Amino acid sequence: MSATASARPHRTLFTCLVLVTALSALDQTIVATALPAITAELGAPWRASWIVTAYALAMTATLTTAGALGDRFGRRRTLLACIALFVLASLGCAASSSTEVLAAARFAQGVGGAGLLVLPQAVVADAVPARERAAYLGPLGAVFALATVAGPLLGGWLTDLVGWRLIFAVNLPLGAAVALLALRAVPADHRSADTDRPHRFDTAGAALIALAASALVLVTTAAGEGAPSGAVTAGAAASAVAVVVALLWERRPAQPVLPVRVLADRLPLLCCLLALVAGLGLFGMIAYVPMWTQGAYGTSATGAGLMLLPTTAGITLGMNLSGRLVARHGKWRVFPRIGSALAALAAAGLALDTGLPLPLAALLLTLLGLGAGLFMQVVVVVAQDAGPAHSVGAVTSALAFVREIGVTVGAAGFGALAAHGLTATDTTTATAYADTFRPVFLAAAGCFLVGLLLALALPAHRLDAEPPGASVGVETSSGGQRD
């Protein structure tokens, strides 16, 4: 069945999942341009960063839990619960009377947002054959990429139009509409041979992973903001201990929140590492593209923000192109290889020539996004298909979790490189300013070179071309077949 033919019965479901993903992705970035107005009304500007950080922290800490809850209690039930939490937290954000209350409500919103981000991908895995799945996951990933640019623009527009509370209040009618659409479109939760004998939910594992993720995010953020080295070292050590304890624990439960036994196999492990590369090399680096554009080319703040559009366009094109080609031909290993190589060359091009005309720089940013987009969703599909059917949600959320950790670590690391260059170099000229960002682009190129080595090591695996058992009420106990 072609991707076009299979799209008809899934059109309503797919529309629902795109809207669900957009709700979560937009709220990760929509607050940035509203922060001045928020702190002007609520005060405590020194705590403004927590309004942004609380959402990202909660989402990262609970991504794996959201996927595992979907496996354990059913996708639709868990998705509706996450939508309800997201909407209620949005109401709390809109009614906040202080910065602290708003940050707490944003944390709850991020917990719901984690489910909105990861569960749609697991729902697609239940409904669409693995070979065609990347064609469906591509637009979902593109929504996340587009939110990087659209979120701040939309937040600024709504704040100027009515006020900052509207950016949260608008989620109430939108969330209600999405919930009704999910009730109609998302398949009813079913019981499989595995869930007829349900295992106890891995509550301890969920708590340990949340603790480890929170510690890692906080210490990485502190390091990027120039916290004292002693505190960073102590925090890094504590984070390492928390990660080791969480990983050791996750080997014990029959259905762990983070399926470390599945991910330890060569194919899922390499897919996870490639997701980490995408987080580090792409999303970690592009956060500083506006700063680089303003200093090196003298653009306005708006013009600098618009320089993210070429990268976003490249990501969208790459995801959709690779998804359609995988559905048509069934070949997938070529995309991580070509994509990693293309992204590495584009990042190296930005680093090696600091006098690039702005249109050529935009072209290289497009190629960078295109390269990463070619494999970002493909590796999710392959990891889903390689693992057992009853752990699809956990595997999906594990890759999203690893990518988000990469984004956080990459943003902190690249930020430290940029800050060091800006303090150590005379940046009064555009050329000197551009020179300070050379290490940032070289580091991104290095990440994608590592990705190329990982891609070359990927084993052969034939994606299943048959509809998944879940779509007809029966789950299989294993993924697709190897070539």
Give buried/exposed letters for 240-251 (b at 16+ CB in 10 A, else e). eebbeebbebbe
Q: How many CA atoms lie within 13 A of 301 on its CB side?
A: 4
Give, as one character, the DSSP assignment of residue 200.
Answer: P
Specify which of 190-204, 299-313, 394-408, 467-481 reaches the highest per-range mean pLDDT: 394-408
The pLDDT confidence band at residue 417, using thresholds 50, 70 and 90, is confident
Topology agreement, domain 1-187 and domain 260-483: yes
The pLDDT confidence band at residue 296, using thresholds 50, 70 and 90, is confident
445 vs 155, more confident: 445
Query: What are the tens digits of pLDDT across the range 349-377?
Result: 998 876 788 899 999 999 999 999 999 99
Please write down the HEC assignment for all residues of 285-343.
HHCCHHHHHHHHHCCCHHHHHHCHHHHHHHHHHHHHHHHHHHHHHCCCCHHHHHHHHHH
What CATH number does the domain located at 1-187 have?
1.20.1250.20
Which of 187-196, 400-409, 411-420 is the least confident region?
187-196
Q: How many CA atoms lie within 13 A of 60 on its CB side?
A: 24
Q: What is the dihedral of CA 294, 296, 299, 304, to 10 degrees?
A: -50
Helix, strand, or coil here: 462? strand
The burial class, CB within 10 Å (0-12 / 13-18 / 19+), for 137 is buried
Residue 194: pLDDT over 80? no
pLDDT, average across residues 186-205: 68
What CATH number does the domain located at 260-483 have?
1.20.1250.20
> Over the chain, what is the mean pLDDT?
84
Q: Which ranges in 225-265 belong to alpha helices (H)? A: 229-249, 260-264
Residue 197: pLDDT over 60? no
pLDDT, average across residues 71-83: 92
Where in the chain are the domains? Answer: 1-187, 203-249, 260-483
Which of 183-187, 207-211, 418-422, 475-479 is the least confident region?
475-479
208 vs 286, more confident: 208
What's at 134, amino acid-wise? Answer: A
Cα 219–222–224 angle (5° rounding)?
A: 110
Instruction: Tell me phi and psi for residue 481, to 5 degrees.
Output: -100, 150
The pLDDT confidence band at residue 192, using thresholds 50, 70 and 90, is very low
Q: Are the C-beta atoms of residues 328 and 405 closer than 8 Å to each other? A: no
Measure the N-to-C terminal CA separation of the chain; round to a whole number of Å.
20
231-239: Cβ within 8 A, 24+ apart: 239/212, 239/215
